[in-house]
């Protein structure tokens, strides 16, 4: 499955490269594991992604 939108490393990924998450934003937001791209991606609505990022900024997730 090919999607023609730019992927970028999430600013929430660890600096060591071991915890890299890539994001491609558009009408839906795609999220994938950099080290396991062949496994595909998860899709979120922009509102869901924004809510998730808000929760991350608020503190540790449980």
* Interior/surface letters 28-49, b for 16+ CB within 10 angstroms, e for the rest: ebbbbbeeeeeeebeebeeeeb
Given a cut of 70, whether residue 10 has pLDDT beyond it is yes
| pTM listed for this prediction | 0.74
**H/E segment holding residue 61:** none
Torsion of CA 32, 36, 40, 46, to 10 degrees: 0
Flag whether pLDDT at 57 surpasses 60: yes
Taking the C-alpha atoms of residue 14 and residue 50, their distance in angstroms, rounded to an integer, is 20
* Residue range 12-49, pLDDT digits in tens: 666 665 668 899 999 999 999 988 999 999 999 999 99
The pLDDT, as a whole number, for residue 16 is 62
- Among residues 24, 27, 22, 26, the alpha carbon closest in space to that of 11 is found at 22
Domains of the chain, by residue range, sit at 21-62
* Arithmetic mean of pLDDT, 3-11: 80
| 55, pLDDT greater than 70 | yes
């Amino acid at each position: 499955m090919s999607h023609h939108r730019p992927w970028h490393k999430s600013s929430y990924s660890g600096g060591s490269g071991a915890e890299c998450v890539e994001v491609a934003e558009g009408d839906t937001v795609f999220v994938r594991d950099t080290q396991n791209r062949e496994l595909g991606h998860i899709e979120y609505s922009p509102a869901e992604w924004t809510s998730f990022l808000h929760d991350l900024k608020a503190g540790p997730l449980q």
